[in-house]
Amino acid sequence: MIQKKIIKKHPLAIRWFHWINFPVLGVMIWSGLLIYWANDVYKIGFGSTTLLKFFPTSFYEVFKIPYRLSEGMAYHFLFMWLFFLNGIAYVLYTIFSGEWKLLMPNRKSFKEAWQVLLHDLHIRKSKPPQGKYNAAQRIAYSAIILMGIGSIISGLAIYKPVQLLWLCNLLGGYKMARIFHFALTIGYVLFFMVHLMQVILAGWNNFRAMVTGFEVKKQIKDTGNVSEIPDAE
C-alpha cells in the first residue's frame, strides 16, 4: 500500500523572499538594459573579431530598449531599494534561522556537485546525495547570494564613484566596476535559464514546495516495513 506524507520543505519567509526577488530582479535587469543601451560597448571576442556583441540591434528592438535612458535610471534607482532590502532580509533570515547550514557548501559539496552534473547530464546513473539541497544547488544558491552582494557593491561604486572612490578603486576603477556590474547581470540571466530548466525537470512536487512550503513523499507500507519511494522525476 502506498502512503503519502506531507513534509515541510521551504519556510514561509524564504518563499516570500524568493517570489519578491523574482519580479524585482526582472525590473532591475530591464531598467539596466535601458541604461546600458546609451553606451553599449561590451562584446566578447579577440583582437578585431567579435563573437558576441552586447546587444544586437534586433534584440533592442524586440524589447523596445532604445532612447529610454532617463526612464531606465528612474526605475533602477527605485527598485534598487527593493532588491537591496529583500536581499538583506533574506541573508539575515538564513543566518538567524539556521537555514544557512542547509545552504552553504560544505567539504563534500564540490566533489558531489560533479556527481550531480554527471547525473543531470545522464552520464552517471546513481543518484548523488540529496538533502534539502544537493551539492550543486548549495553551490549555486550560495553563489547567487555572493553575486547579489557583488551587484550592490559594484552598483554603489558606479552610482557614487567620487564619494565612494575607495569602493571604486577596490573594483579596479570606474570602468572595471561597470564591467563587473554588467557581467553579474549576464550571470543572473544564465542562472535563471538553468534554474528554470531544472525546475521544469524536477516536476510539480518540487515546484509546489516553493509555493506551498511542503513536499509530498510517497511510502510503501507493507506489514510493518516502511520504505521510501524516490520522487518520480
Enumerate binding residues for other proteins (CB under 8 A): 3-6, 19, 23, 27, 35-36, 38-39, 41, 69-71, 73-75, 77-78, 81, 159-165, 168-169, 174-175, 178, 208, 211-214, 216
Contact partners, residue 56, CB within 8 Å, separation at least 6: none
Closest to 175 in 3D by CA, of 7, 37, 39: 39
Query: Strand runs (DSSP E) across the chain, as ranges?
Result: 2-8, 43-46, 49-53, 214-221, 226-229
What is the nearest approach in angstroms of other proteins to the Cβ of residue 188? 19
Nearer to other proteins, 87 or 128 (CB): 87
How near is the Cβ of 106 to other proteins at its closest, in Å?
Answer: 31
Cell of 144: 547567487
Closer to other proteins at the Cβ: 53 or 208? 208
Distance in Å, CB of 16 to other proteins, minimum: 9
- Shortest spacing between CB 101 and other proteins, in angstroms: 25
- Write down the least CB distance from residue 29 to other proteins, Å: 15
| Residue with smaller CB distance to other proteins, 37 or 188 | 37
Cell of 105: 557548501
> d(Cα 26, Cα 188) in Å, to the nearest integer?
10
**Minimum distance, C-beta of residue 112 to other proteins, in the bound complex (Å):** 31
Q: Judged by CB, which is closer to other proteins: 35, or 113?
A: 35
Tell me the helix, strand and coil percentages in the chain, rounded to 5: 65, 15, 25
CA angle 39, 41, 42 (to 5 degrees): 130
DSSP run (H or E) holding 152: helix 135-159
40's grid cell = 553599449
Nearest CB to other proteins, comparing residues 80 and 135:
80
Nearer to other proteins, 36 or 188 (CB): 36
Rg (CA), the chain: 21
